[in-house]
Amino acid sequence: MFMFNTATTIPINMPVIPRELIVPIEQVSALERVPLYKEDGSIIDINWYRMYKANKDLTKWIIKHCPVECSQIEYIVSDYSLLLHKDSGRSGAINYIIDAGGDNIRTEFVADNETDILTKKVFNQYEWHYLNVSCLHRVVGDLVRPRYLLSLTPTNCVTYKFDWKNNKHLTIEES
């Protein structure tokens, strides 16, 4: 799978998702919202960062085309840029930008000293990329509309400390 010694990202060779499989952002809020879990299973409740399970047709398409097994496939809607953080519950993510939310919105990976920028990247719309989200990172830029993306969690990157496999929010429903 994907392993890194430093904060970085790599492109993933997967096809562009057919548009008819992506739920428009205006309709995604009708889907079931996925709680934002911490490593221990407690929940962070913020309204400006929302996750939703991917629709079944899209999930089937991703399972067919993704080179790795994934435990989670979610839409993410963020109304603001993201502050410096490490993801909870996963060490890696495969992301697909549907709408960056503005021009020149970039992801920066930052050293543990929280000052030195190790890597920065503007991700193109409709391209797949893997991120090492166990490193400090942030999303920087002026969002003029919500940032909308699809995010996959490879099964071998799950780091939750609770029984996530029996949590309906954190597993894929294929049927």
List residues bridging with 93 in a β-sheet: 131
Residue type, 82: L
- The single residue listed with the structure tokens 């399972």 is 63
Q: Which of the following CATH numbers is that of domain 10-170: 2.60.120.10, 1.10.760.10, 3.40.1260.10, 2.40.100.20?
A: 2.60.120.10
CA 49 to chain centre: 11
| Residues whose CB falls within 8 Å of the CB of residue 114, separated by 6 or more in sequence, listed in order | 84, 136
**So what's the pLDDT on residue 81?**
81
User: 29-64 burial string, b = 16+ CB within 10 Å, else e?
Assistant: eebeebebbeeeeeeeeeeeebbbbbbeebbebbee
Domain boundaries, the chain: 10-170
- In this predicted structure, the answer to whether residue 5 has a pLDDT above a threshold of 60 is no
- The whole-model pTM stands at 0.89
Encoded tokens for 33: 């919202």
Q: Return d(Cα 134, Cα 93) in angstroms, integer.
A: 10
- In this predicted structure, the answer to whether residue 3 has a pLDDT above a threshold of 70 is no
CA 116 to chain centre: 23
Q: What is the mean pLDDT of the chain?
A: 87
Q: Tens digit of pLDDT for each residue in 33-88?
A: 888 777 787 788 888 889 999 999 999 999 999 999 998 999 999 987 887 788 88
**So what's the pLDDT on residue 2?**
56
CA angle 80, 59, 57 (to 5 degrees): 110
| Residues whose CB falls within 8 Å of the CB of residue 40, separated by 6 or more in sequence, listed in order | 161, 162
**So what's the pLDDT on residue 83?**
79
Mean pLDDT of 18-35: 90
Q: Tens digit of pLDDT for each residue in 94-116?
A: 999 999 999 999 999 988 898 99
